[in-house]
């Protein structure tokens, strides 16, 4: 049989062809909108995450750091302690796993070399600006003002600059050498720093008279009260005071049982620090009104605390600190966290159950 004797097959559709749109629809083209990537939109600092990760992927850490420094004066710090909302919004998480943006930012900040670029402010002449406080807000303010050509002077009451970064974060999370390098890069922009200056009302008026603008960044070191009986006992310490004491003087406390009230990042830092600086056989327990999966602390920090042997009790609050000369025990009452419909603020409420 020859090929020319074969009758070709003729396809025949037995259904309707209306599902195949033709005409004007076939001429339509995609409409592209230029928008921020989800990770960049979620970043509190507004860092251009896709761009600096692109440079890092090519091994160009210097250009990656240069891009980071455009919006973020503290990349070494953020690469270690940021709660990284950018990773939560990462598109890659829809396929397998989100990109480890915080870890990559840390690597770029450590291995890259770049100098912050100066910027011009059209129509504005340089001004003399005083900043009270050298915490993250004060340092960031000084950084951007100096890049715009303003003359900046920082007044700090402590011996070392850094505020909560220096005195409120444990060394195992943010090494002092790393922070010092970060601060020195900011000060290299020509910023003056006067440390050991506790600015009172009279001095504040004097500083205002000698500068065009004043920026107050004194932090929020006033502790929250637990609202329990005998809270003023000498063995009841506030978290930030405990961390500041450890960070400034290396204080060691020979305690065998430590109870930490709270489920946030400061509480986790206090609990893990106590595990390191108290007695060798210390028992550390965290107590918070939230359920464990609702703790406001970074989930990785909670996981690490559990791995280190810290006990965590959710759904309770302290009702009494018992003891006069020394703390004997802490009475815990059932509690829960609820959102106030009037203010939108979270509040702690009593719950059913037995005291511990």
Q: Is 82 left (phi over 0), alpha (psi -120 to 50) or beta?
A: beta
Q: Are strands 151-156 and 257-261 parallel, antiparallel or unpaired?
A: unpaired
User: Can you say how many angstroms the Cα of residue 90 is from the centroid of all Cα atoms in its chain?
Assistant: 17
Could you tell me the end-to-end alpha-carbon distance of the chain, in angstroms, rounded to an integer? 95
d(CA 253, CA 249): 12
Contact 117, 148 (CB under 8 A): no
d(CA 101, CA 121): 32
Fold match, 128-216 / 239-350: yes
pLDDT in tens, 144-155: 999 999 999 999
Mean predicted confidence (pLDDT) in 124-142: 93
Tokens at 151, concatenated: 């003359």
Domain 38-111 matching CATH 3.40.50.300: the answer reads no
Residue 92: closest CA among 126, 129, 31, 49: 49
How many helices (H) and strands (E) the chain has is answered by 13, 10
> In the chain, which ranges are continuous DSSP H helix?
38-42, 49-57, 61-71, 75-81, 85-88, 101-111, 136-147, 164-167, 176-187, 201-210, 239-249, 265-277, 299-307
Domain boundaries, the chain: 38-111, 128-216, 239-350
The secondary structure of the chain in percent helix, strand, coil, rounded to multiples of 5, reads 35, 15, 45
What confidence tens digit (pLDDT) does each residue in 320-340 have? 888 777 788 888 888 888 877
CB 240 within 8 A of CB 221: yes
Residue 191: pLDDT band (50, 70, 90) is: very high
> Which of 12-26, 49-63, 239-253, 336-350 has the lowest average pLDDT?
12-26
For residue 237, how many other CB atoms are within 10 A of its CB?
Answer: 17
Cα separations in angstroms, 105 against 21, 25, 67, 88, 171:
48, 45, 11, 15, 19
pLDDT number for residue 79? 94
255 phi-psi bin (left φ>0, alpha ψ -120 to 50, beta other) = beta
What's the distance, CA 315 to chain centroid? 25
Is 239-350 CATH 3.50.50.60?
yes
Tokens representing 183? 């601060």
What's residue 85's pLDDT? 93
pLDDT for position 9:
65
| pLDDT per position as a tens digit, 212-238 | 999 999 988 887 777 778 877 888 888
What six digits make up the tokens of 157? Answer: 């009451």
Query: CATH second-level architecture of 128-216?
Result: 3-Layer(bba) Sandwich (3.50)
pLDDT averaged over the chain? Answer: 87
């Amino acid at each position: 049989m020859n090929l020319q004797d074969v009758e070709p097959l003729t396809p025949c559709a037995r259904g309707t062809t209306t599902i195949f749109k033709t005409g004007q629809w076939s001429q339509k083209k995609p409409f592209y909108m230029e928008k921020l990537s989800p990770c960049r939109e979620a970043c509190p600092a507004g860092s251009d995450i896709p761009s600096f990760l692109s440079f890092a992927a090519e091994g160009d850490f210097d250009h990656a750091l240069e891009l980071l420094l455009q919006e973020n004066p503290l990349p070494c710090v953020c690469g270690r302690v940021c709660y990284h909302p950018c990773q939560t919004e990462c598109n890659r998480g829809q396929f397998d796993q989100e990109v480890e943006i915080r870890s990559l930012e840390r690597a770029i900040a450590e291995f890259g070399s770049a100098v912050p670029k100066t910027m011009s402010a059209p129509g504005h002449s340089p001004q003399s600006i005083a900043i009270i406080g050298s915490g993250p807000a004060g340092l960031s303010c000084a950084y951007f003002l100096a890049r715009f050509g303003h003359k900046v002077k920082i007044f700090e009451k402590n011996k070392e600059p850094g505020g909560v970064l220096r005195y409120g974060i444990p060394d195992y999370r943010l090494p002092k050498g790393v922070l010092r390098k970060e601060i020195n890069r900011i000060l290299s922009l020509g910023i003056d720093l006067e440390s050991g200056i506790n600015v009172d009302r009279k001095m504040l008026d004097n500083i205002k008279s000698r500068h065009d603008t004043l920026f107050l960044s004194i932090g929020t070191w006033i502790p929250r009260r637990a609202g329990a009986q005998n809270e003023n006992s000498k063995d009841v310490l506030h978290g930030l005071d405990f961390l500041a004491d450890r960070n400034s003087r290396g204080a060691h406390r020979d305690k065998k049982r430590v109870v930490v009230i709270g489920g946030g990042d400061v509480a986790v830092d206090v609990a893990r620090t106590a595990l390191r600086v108290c007695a060798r056989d210390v028992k550390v327990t965290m107590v918070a009104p939230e359920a464990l999966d609702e703790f406001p602390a970074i989930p990785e920090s909670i996981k690490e605390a559990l791995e280190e042997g810290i006990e965590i009790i959710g759904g309770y609050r302290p009702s009494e600190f018992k003891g006069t000369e020394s703390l004997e025990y802490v009475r815990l009452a059932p509690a829960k966290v609820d959102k106030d419909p009037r203010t939108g603020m979270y509040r702690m409420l009593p719950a059913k159950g037995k005291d511990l």
